[in-house]
Chains A and B, each alone.
Chain A
Amino acid sequence: MPKKVLDARNVTVTYRTEKGLLDTVRKVSLQICSGEIYGLVGESGSGKSTLARAIVRYLPENGFLKNGEIYLGDSDLLTLSKSEMRRVWGGRVTMVHQDPNAAVNPSVMIGEQIAEVARTHLKMSRQEAKDKALEMLTKVRMADPEAVARRYAHQLSGGMLQRVLIAIAMTTNPELLIMDEPTTALDVTTEAVILDLIGDLMREYDTAVLYITHNLGVVARVCNRVGVLYAGEMMEEGSIGQVFKNKLHPYTRGLLGCVPRVDVNKKDISLKAIPGYIPRPDQLPPGCVFAPRCELAEGACREARPPLAEIESGHLTACRRYKALRSYGDVVADTRDAHEELEYGELVLEARNVKKYFPVAGSLPFLSKVRKQEVKAVDDITVRMRHSFTMGIVGESGCGKTTFARCIMGLEEATAGEIELEGELLPYSVAKRPPETLRKMQMVFQNPDASLNPQHPAGEAVARPLKLLRRMDKKALQDRVRELFEAVNLPEDYIYRLPHELSGGEKQRVAIARAFAADPTLMICDEPISSLDVSVQASLMNLLVDLQESKGTSYLFISHDLAAVRHLSDWIAVVYLGRLWEIGSAEDVFVPPYHPYTEALLSALPIPDPDVRQESIRLKGSVPSAMNIPSGCRFHTRCPRKIGAICENEEPPWQNTGYYHQLCCHIPADELLVLQGYGLLKKGERGAGK
């Protein structure tokens, strides 16, 4: 019988704000046993982090615990004094944060930072602490721990830093470890390695873990139990199997329906977005907090708040109508009308052998004798795109996806190559392109906060391209702006709002309206949804699909999120270190034979279904610097299927594995097929979700 480590009952957290006292977390109870990983999920603003901080009494000055009892093991945390709490923090309870760069002291050596914890909390001598630091670095599977111990934070990659943080957190062998989105800032491949590490370490240490995340795939992979938090209240709680298989709350079901699946795409289903927004803590509905966004809500739901009831052993829900939910079926997504395959449309974009090298300029370059170095961000990429077609580009960060897109748009001047739009050769720089070309190509950027001018009303952002590229008069302009706002599902009065009055998703809708304003034939989407909540992501993806259907625009969709790319794209290109390694139709790229890099990306992808068994193929280290590109096959330094010297010395050949699919590898495609077996998804399974 595992021991109960954390027992928090009826916790209510209140903030003193200018609007008075606001209860941001209300009556949440949480129990975590030793050796258990408890996942806490919810959208932003649901109070996940507040709850975690309240549990260890680490709230900011304007926050306090209004109600509740919190026990850590046998001690009642609420009765401890400040100085006693200080011994608990960092000793019995430790924390791993989202941003590893901010959590490590940049001016102290890594080894010393771990040793310091050992000296303070474990009362070790200098030498013992030093040994302990090395032991911890080995435990988190750091290659060459002695060298790492002597390094500083800026010399380590994000994934390595996160491992250092885990090492620091585990040094004292804590009873409770709180992880607040520890892998959100990392690449999928790095994330997979860290998640494996967390799973293994927790088995070894028997620590209780509170794992906060918004990613249901991650929860399905590492957690034992999960709690779904919404607007500061617990909606559903249970074991992974219970919650993912037998969802008893419409919010859980909604969240899962928002996540695109790798086995089907936009032609098969559209994502089921949750309408509306999370209520703010000062505008809570009187009944069930989720009722305003719930399709099952009935009169009684809106009147009184339903209690959290235990339906099966250990499975709790705050939904009154969970029985109705069961009979409602497990429709996670809308089935779309089957529509004909798109014909082979006209060629819209052809980019041939595009290269972009950035010179590395030191200070006073003419004085130094060092050979001029170059970062080869994009090194020979060729793509072709047809009308009403979506090309997805995937790859880890730093592989040149964004630079490639910026070269096509002319925001970066390509070093070499030809970019043709509808058969017309384009100048490299955007400043030299005629207005008609500009009209045909538009872009949606990654960061919604930076993509709108904070001083201009939303309507003006949309009106400018109309004025400039379409030369519309005032009357037509106003009508068109209104039309565009309607097309992106924004109410008309948003035209006059300033960006700070909009949420992230709304800003991105305005940015999409702006990009569509001039009726482009090609739109480049550079990670347009990656910084948003899942439910917002789903509605934006649906919006993009709808707009494409009605306008016939082609998308170049860049993302590190394979599931999103799979959902939206007809054609997928896999990029690594500035070059293409695999290209083909979306169906073919995601089934074997695939390039070993694609295989690694796919097996790293967290899938929100505890039953999916993925092969664990993990990449070592991080992407090499684009200044020193490995010889031969660029991927050989990390390739799990490297065959020998040939990979290091010779550039691999392109192989056609089908009419719609090519990959670039030394291993013959037939052999890859044998090695990879059926892969993640069998071909026959496609569309099984219907």
Chain B
Amino acid sequence: MSETMNALNQKQTRSKSISTLKRLRRYPTTLIGFITVFLFLIIALFGPLLAPYAYTAQNLPNKLQPPSEEHIFGTDQFGRDVYSRILVGSRDVLSVAGSGTALAVFFGLLLGLFSGYRGGLFDELIMRAMDVILSIPPLLLAMVILFSLGPSRVNVIIVVGFLYIPMVARVVRSVVLDLKTRQFIEAARLRGENSLYLLYKEILPNILPHLAVEASMRFSYSIFLVASLGFLGLGVQPPSPDWGLMVGEARTWFHQARWVLFFPAGAIALLVVGVGFMSDGLRRMLLPGGVSDA
């Protein structure tokens, strides 16, 4: 059986672009994930244009109104339109979580690449340092750092990046360790290639698929972390319409106006699940044979 399936697999890879689309259709969750993330990106780009009200526009007489025709998600404690605030807030979530992820991916890639490639004491030192960071509960560590640096958009980005560097570095290092023993690397050593070529031309291109999957996973965790920090009041400061912050503020009025809490929380959940589905799908497409349909 395996032989035939190999023959079939070979055929599949021959027309990779076609089958990628077809495979997408076979996994509806993946498609849903991609569409969700795409919609959120659109919202982030054009949010302020789509929003019916300014996110800061207060309307105190109409505070804590349930969803209606004028305010489809209702209004908050200052009578601000929740729908508009969520649309505008998507920018904060995506940009802060995105930049944090980018930071983590960049430094994690560098560290993992060199650590795995060099090996020896250098590798040992770096990896133990990563273990130290990983051994502290992330939210606790984030809170400690933000307490000392002071809450701000930039600091949240730095914290997210810092917290996720070890995870990215570990994944990259393990892939490098595997690649390093492959025979094409040995063949390159036999023709006298220098380390730079080995790292950037032979190893790096083979890491990218793994990195893409890891980055998308980190992104979904970042959204979570950013929202949590916002909820605790350590993230983006009011009056910014950060989703986590909105949930945190709405807590007080939960008994009178549940929708004020429900909608931003729902937006966070939807985005996290969407990114999760997308990262699952990326794994299926970029690293076939790795996990689910092996």
B-binding residues in A (CB < 8 A): 15, 17-19, 22, 24, 44-50, 53, 59-60, 63, 280-282, 409-411, 430-431, 433, 435, 438, 441-443, 445-447, 450-456, 461, 464-465, 468-469, 500-501, 503, 511, 514, 518
Contact = CB atoms under 8 A, between A and B. Distances in A.
13 contacts: A44-B7, A49-B4, A50-B1, A50-B4, A53-B1, A282-B11, A409-B190, A430-B190, A433-B192, A441-B190, A442-B190, A447-B183, A451-B183
Contact of B205 (A19, A431, A450, A455): A455
Nearest to A232: B4
B13 interface: yes
Contacts of A281: 4, 7-8
B255 interface: no
A537 B237 CA distance: 69
Contacts of B13: 500-501
A420 to B, nearest CB: 18
Given A453-B206, A500-B13, A514 B7 contact: no
Contacts of B184: 450-453, 461
Contacts of B192: 430, 433, 435, 438, 468-469
A464 B191 contact: yes
B3 A44 contact: yes
A555 to B, nearest CB: 16
Contacts of B189: 411, 430-431
Interface string B180-197: 001110111111110000
Nearest to B191: A465
A46 B7 CA distance: 10
Given A47-B3, A501-B13, 18 more contacts: A15-B4, A18-B12, A18-B19, A24-B4, A59-B1, A60-B1, A282-B11, A430-B190, A430-B192, A431-B189, A438-B190, A443-B186, A450-B184, A451-B184, A453-B205, A455-B205, A464-B191, A468-B193
A578 B184 CA distance: 26
A271 to B, nearest CB: 23
Contacts of A455: 205-206
Contacts of B205: 453, 455-456
Contacts of B182: 450-451
B11 A19 contact: yes
A451 B187 CA distance: 7
A49 B190 contact: no
Contacts of B202: 453, 456
Nearest to A500: B13
B45 to A, nearest CB: 32
Contacts of B8: 15, 17, 22, 281
Interface string B19-46: 1001000000000000000000000000
Q: Is the interface of B mostly helix, strand, loop or mixed?
A: helix
Contacts of B187: 443, 445, 451, 461, 511, 514
A442 B189 CA distance: 11
B6 interface: yes
Closest 9 CB pairs of A and B: A455-B205, A445-B183, A451-B183, A465-B191, A453-B184, A45-B7, A44-B3, A450-B183, A49-B1
B20 to A, nearest CB: 11
A280 B7 contact: yes
A355 B134 CA distance: 43
Contact of B190 (A282, A443, A454): A443
A461 to B, nearest CB: 8
A60 B4 CA distance: 12
A61 to B, nearest CB: 11
Nearest to A279: B7
Which of B2, B4, B11, B190 lies at the interface centre, i.e. has the most chain A CB atoms within 10 A of its CB?
Answer: B4
A501 B9 CA distance: 11
Nearest to A468: B191
A409 B183 CA distance: 13
A435 B19 CA distance: 44
B183 to A, nearest CB: 4
Contacts of A19: 11
A518 B201 CA distance: 20
Contacts of A46: 3
A456 B201 CA distance: 9
Contacts of B193: 464, 468
Contacts of B14: 501
